A and B are shown apart, each in its own frame.
Chain A
Amino acid sequence: MPRMWWVMGVLAVAAVLSAYLAWTAHRVERVHVRAASAGRALDAHLLRRAAAAAVVAENTDFVELYAAARLALDAEPDEREAAENDLTRQLRTVRLTGADPASRTLVATSRRVVLARQVHTDLVRDALTARRRPLVRLLRMARHYERPRYFEIVEPDLPEPLTVTPRPAPEPPVPVST
């Protein structure tokens, strides 16, 4: 019965195709949700960095740093990138010792900004790659999601982490008398 084989074949192809479409739609959803989450996380860390910088600036009477931190905190979305870059530039002139809690917080938040930016950039790239795929474009699978956008700031410096557990220096091996 060749006709039945035809029907079976068409049904099988349809099943595989719809599974593939569902899987692709799920992938598109996931990359967009993640890029959005990463964007929110980056935003939160930038705000924390600016707040920590403002506290350090107040403690050290560093007027330029305070101004940059305030501008970053209050910036409108379209001025945000420039304001964060200014803050990064000001922070480069500060030597953080980690002696007081405020500067420790600033080191920790600055590190998290670098990591969050890295992850955000990667996830945005994944989302944009997914949007460019022919099938996704053809079926306009990404139409419900806002097009993710890179947050274009200069790479902030990654300060060295503050030492966690200071330990006494070990004894050197017995020196040889020569």
Chain B
Amino acid sequence: MRIGIVSPYSFDVPGGVQNHIVDLAEALIALGHEVSVLAPADEDAELPPYVVAAGRAMPLPYNGSVARIAFGPVSTARVRRWLARGAFDVLHVHEPLTLSLSLLAVLSARGPVVATFHTAMVRSRALAAAQGFLQPVVEKITARIAVSELARKVQVEHIGGGAVEIPNGVAVAKFATAEPLPGWPGQGGALGFLGRFTESRKGFELLRTAFVTLARERPGLRLLVAGPGDRDDLYAGIPAELHPRVEFLGLVSEPDKARMLRSVDVYVAPNTGGESFGMILTEAMAAGATIAASDLDAFRRVLDGGRAGALFPTGDTAALTGLLGELLDDPGRRHELAAAARTAVEAYDWPSVANRVLEVYATAIEATDGRVFDEEWAEPRSGS
């Protein structure tokens, strides 16, 4: 199949949507499809061979953060040229309702369009207000994908119609084979946390309190933290004598993230809410870590109802402390949970996820021109 994918955000800055697009494109290419990705980027930017640069991106504040996007007549012309040259069987746009290349591509598209919705804003006034104007855009989208139950709900409420839920994939092999950091996890037990520890909904405070309690009783216990933030903020809430037992990695690259997740006995996700899917959990599962997570809907679903990771009542520090103590004392249980996690994460491996996306592509193509694929629809058809 010839597939055109449009990224609304620039690859110059890392982000969830960009990572998703790169992994999806590579998985599709590995399955034998022709893929071209259009993304805002400078002409001289270093890009993977399948990415086409659509020109410089403009910083624009959106949804609480700064997105670098491209929009305007120059971008429109480039989108049209890319579409004309690509002759794609299907066009796959991400976040099509933002002012971006994705929106331009939908407006210029003639064939089947598949759209993926990542955002899980609970209510977007902008979207609600723009509903009438967006109808011509929505109308051109043939099939919709939402990456989480929450994203699907938002989508259904705001623009009507359904969406197929296909979770974010995870490159299982990359995580499963990463080398643990030197000296980790060590003999005394190691806990891990990754994320913005200053943000209260990530729940780091719970873990910090639990760690301080546990570390007093367990002389070898250590804590490994990675994520954006200031070193001093991290150490501020921890008694000075425990500082040597807390290691801070700062913002880590993707390969280092995998190594970090392989370096801990228990990965802790103490989030108190707002997590739409729990991407980090599937990554920890792929890395073979034992997981202790808050009992949020999304986490429970990813962790197979608690079989692939231990759950504790959201926001309950005492319960977290107790659970971590139990897990640290019981290597057998940890092993069991980690083994169940590795089985459960197969469903999130990129080849599996890419195949589910391909089913949606086929459905969209059929609904646009009435072609119906036979059994071997996943194979590239001759003459295309």
Contact = CB atoms under 8 A, between A and B. Distances in A.
A124 to B, nearest CB: 10
B297 interface: no
Given A44-B372, A123-B367, A176 B331 contact: yes
A172 B375 CA distance: 38
Interface string B329-370: 101001100110011001101011001100110111011111
Contact of A178 (B328, B363, B364, B375): B328
B contact patch SS: helix
A41 B185 contact: no
A80 interface: no
Interface stretch (B71-79, B87-95, B156-164, B203-211): B156-164
Contact of A27 (B139, B265, B331, B342): B139
A84 B359 CA distance: 21
B370 A161 contact: no
Interface string A4-46: 0000000000000000000000010011001011101100110
Contacts of B294: none
Contact of B367 (A41, A108, A164, A177): A41
B164 A118 contact: yes
B293 interface: no
Given A123-B367, A178-B189, A112 B359 contact: yes
Contact of B176 (A36, A115, A165, A170): A170
Given A27-B139, A112-B362, A170-B177, A176 B185 contact: yes
Contact of A164 (B177, B262, B263, B352): B352
A38 B335 contact: no
B144 A122 contact: yes
Interface string A105-136: 10010011001101111110110011000000
B272 interface: no
Max chain A Cβ within 10 angstroms of own Cβ: one of B176, B264, B339: B176
B177 A125 contact: no
A37 B368 contact: yes
A97 interface: no
Which interface class (under 10, 10 to 19, 20 to 34, 35 or more) fits A?
A: 35 or more
B238 to A, nearest CB: 22
A121 B351 CA distance: 28
A161 B360 CA distance: 13
A125 B136 CA distance: 13
Interface string B111-125: 000000000000000
A112 B364 CA distance: 11
Range, interface on chain B: 35 or more
Contacts of A165: 349, 351
Nearest to A114: B164
B180 interface: yes
Interface in A87-118: 105, 108, 111-112, 115-116, 118
Contacts of A122: 143-144, 161-162
A158 B130 CA distance: 33
Given A173-B263, A176-B185, A27 B339 contact: no
B351 A164 contact: yes
Contacts of B288: 170-173
B69 interface: no
B142 interface: yes
A116 B351 contact: no
Residue among A45, A129, A169, A176 with max Cβ neighbours from chain B (10 Å): A176
B366 A172 contact: no
A40 to B, nearest CB: 5
Contacts of A164: 351-352, 355
B139 A31 contact: yes
Contact of A130 (B139, B143, B172, B347): B139
B187 interface: yes
Nearest to A105: B375
Q: Which 5 A-B residue pairings sit nearest by Cβ, starting from the closest?
A: A170-B176, A41-B366, A38-B367, A37-B370, A122-B161
Interface of A: 27, 30-31, 34, 36-38, 40-41, 44-45, 105, 108, 111-112, 115-116, 118-123, 125-126, 129-130, 160-161, 163-165, 167, 169-178
8 contacts: A105-B375, A118-B162, A170-B176, A170-B286, A170-B342, A173-B289, A176-B186, A176-B189
Given A170-B173, A175-B334, 4 more contacts: A120-B367, A169-B339, A172-B342, A176-B187
